[in-house]
Amino acid sequence: MPGKERTPTMSEADINTYAVLLAGGSGTRLWPVSRELYPKQLVNFIGRDSLVQSTVKRLAPVIDSQRLRIVCGQEHFHEMRRHMLEINVPADGKIICEPCGRNTAPAILLAARHILMAETDAVLCVFPADHMVKNIAGFHERLETAIGLAQQGHIVTFGIQPHYPETGYGYIQADRKLSHGARTIGRFVEKPDLETARQYIRAGNFFWNSGMFAFKASVILDEFRTFAPELFEKMSKITFTRDGTADPSYATLPNISFDYAIMEHTSNGVLLVSDFGWSDIGSWKSLYDFLRKDARGNVVEGDVITEDTQNCFIMGHERLIATNGLDNMVVVETPDAVFVSGMESSGNVKAIVTRLKETGRKECITHRKVYYSWGNRTLLEQKNDSRVYRVVINAGAAFQDDPEPFSVQHLIVVDGQARMTPGQHPARVLKTGESAVIGKGGNFLIENTEEKTLCIIQVKIT
């Protein structure tokens, strides 16, 4: 059980360096792949790794994976844990859960407090969990420089060298040059219009605001105490459960970004000029811009056939996609939704997500396949009077569904062996090919006592 923070006393050379990954948010601009219960940091857009897995991997060897903390929503805990285990990073003690999202300043302060439960002081390197980097060696060089600057008491923000007038990013104006590519910070500016962005590029001292930072925990606590006293005071009373979840009073914290709370006020901030092929993957167009194109300017993933198609982003998951006569388009297919848009207007998908929420559509919240601590369940078919699921239960795990007063349930074992306890009745074993019927309003418990996964088809009939 975490205790109280200690007063920092260690010398700069002795303190450990931690990576703090901010993994909140829903990533609605990348719908239909990214959803409320399956945000973009958990998605593997291209290749095998999800964005959070890629972020963890690129920290090595600069930061030991044992000194990793991930701040995420409580509803994403089990899935985040699964993603860490998939890349052989033990998740125990590394995931800090927010009961609700309160923006980046509370998330960073929460992580600092959690780390200081075990350390007298530490250098914290803060990264969004859903960004991409092309030049890993260049990233490592800048990261090592940032750690050195942080050890000297600076609050470092990574300013990305802009190569074109991007209107989707905030900018930071840099002033006086310091050593190692660092500069003093002039001001933070919001996302500009196109002409203003062009002026920033011509000026030569404006950089993209990446949302990545490095600082000593003791330094940042002093800054919060000075510039965000209400947040600091309320956070000092927050406690953690054994699994790293902050208590419900977290919801009363101010909703404020780290830039507004600290960076726009501190005199310790420096900008580290960086150019390592960074993107925040904030839209389908930015993902298209980041990835390598084929000879016709297309980015294609999945079972796709193109004819007379160029400059397009096309992603499929389960079905064949065939395109003809397309130019500068986005086509994204998932098992329950298809998104088609002009490339330049693809960022407007947030308006579609808003309409889905207003009409109560589940497609903005979850996919047909939902992961749980015990395994996963996939909706195979839904009609007015029936639903069919594929239920996969991990070895040694148990599945218990909520009783439904008006539904009869059929359970068929298609792979493995199940120990089923229907309500108050004695348990029975169901082998592959065997089935059971649960009457209206009945409940049941299915346990997988074997060493391999168990697969069941669950049919609910109203």
Q: Would you list the domain boundaries of the chain?
A: 12-281, 285-357, 372-461
pLDDT higher than threshold 50 for residue 206: yes
Chain-centroid distance, C-alpha 453:
27
Does the pLDDT at position 10 exceed 70?
A: no
Phi and psi based region of residue 318 (left: phi greater than 0; alpha: psi -120 to 50; beta: remaining) = alpha
Q: Assign domain 12-281 to a CATH class.
A: alpha beta
On whether the CB atoms of residues 180 and 149 are closer than 8 A, the answer is yes
Closest CA to 227 of 109, 147, 99, 101: 109
C-alpha dist (Å) from residue 342 to 290, 297, 347, 374 = 17, 15, 9, 40
**Cβ atoms of 12 and 47 closer than 8 Å:** no
Q: Is the pLDDT of residue 150 over 60?
A: yes
CB atoms within 10 A of CB 312: 22
Query: Quick count: other Cβ atoms within 10 Å of Cβ 282?
Result: 18
At 35-58, the pLDDT tens digits run 988 899 999 887 789 999 999 999
- Alpha-carbon Rg for the chain in angstroms: 25
- Cα–Cα distance measured from residue 173 to residue 171, given in angstroms and rounded to the nearest whole number: 7
Here the tokens at position 175 are: 């002033």
Residue 7 has pLDDT above 60, yes or no: no
* Span 219-237, pLDDT tens digits: 999 999 999 999 999 999 9
Task: For CA atoms 370, 372, 376, 382, give the dihedral sign.
Answer: negative
> Number of C-alpha atoms within 13 angstroms, CB side, residue 438?
29
Which strands, in side-by-side order, build the sheet including 454-461? Answer: 369-371, 375-383, 386-393, 454-461, 408-415, 435-438
Domain 12-281 and domain 372-461 have a common topology: no
Give the side-chain half-sphere CA count within 13 A for 129.
Answer: 32
* CA distances to 79, 87, 154, 207 from 368, in Å: 15, 24, 46, 41
* Residue 328 neighbours by CB distance under 10 Å: 15
Angstrom distance (rounded) from CA 99 to CA 251? 7
Who's near 19: CB < 8 A, 6+ residues apart?
56, 59, 63, 67, 68, 69, 124, 125, 127
pLDDT band at 242 (very low <50, low <70, confident <90, very high): confident
What are 2's two structure tokens? 């975490």
Handedness of CA 412, 418, 422, 425 (dihedral sign): positive
Question: Residue 199 is encoded by which pair of tokens?
Answer: 């002026």
Report whether pLDDT(11) > 80: no
Assigned fold of 372-461: Jelly Rolls (2.60.120)
Mean pLDDT (the chain, rounded): 92
SS (H, E, C) 230-270: HHHHHHCCCCECCCCEECHHHHHCCCCCHHHHHHCCCCCEE
pLDDT band at 27 (very low <50, low <70, confident <90, very high): low
DSSP 8-state symbol, 427: P
Q: From CA 206, how far away is CA 185, in angstroms rounded? A: 10
Q: Which residue from 314, 280, 299, 353 is spatially nearest to 29, judged by alpha carbons?
A: 353
Q: End-to-end CA distance of the chain, in Å?
A: 46
The residue whose two tokens read 């419900």 is 248
Residue/partner pairs of 37-42 with CB below 8 Å, 24 or more apart: 37/75, 37/76, 37/365, 37/366, 37/367, 37/370, 38/79, 38/366, 38/367, 39/76, 39/130, 40/130, 40/281, 41/129, 41/130, 42/76, 42/79, 42/80, 42/83
**For residue 348, is pLDDT > 90?**
no
User: Where does the pLDDT of residue 3 fall: very low under 50, low under 70, confident under 90, or very high at 90 and above?
Assistant: very low
Count other Cβ atoms within 10 Å, centred on residue 377: 20
Name residue 209's amino acid: N
Percent of the chain beyond pLDDT 70? 97
Structure tokens, 357: 């929420």
Secondary structure class of 223 (helix, strand, coil) = helix
Q: Which of 212-216, 296-300, 381-385 has the lowest mean pLDDT?
A: 381-385
- How do residues 77-105 score in pLDDT, each as one tens digit? 989 999 999 999 999 999 999 999 999 99
Q: Is 396 exposed, middle or buried (0-12, 13-18, 19+ CB in 10 A)?
A: exposed
CB 115 within 8 Å of CB 15: no
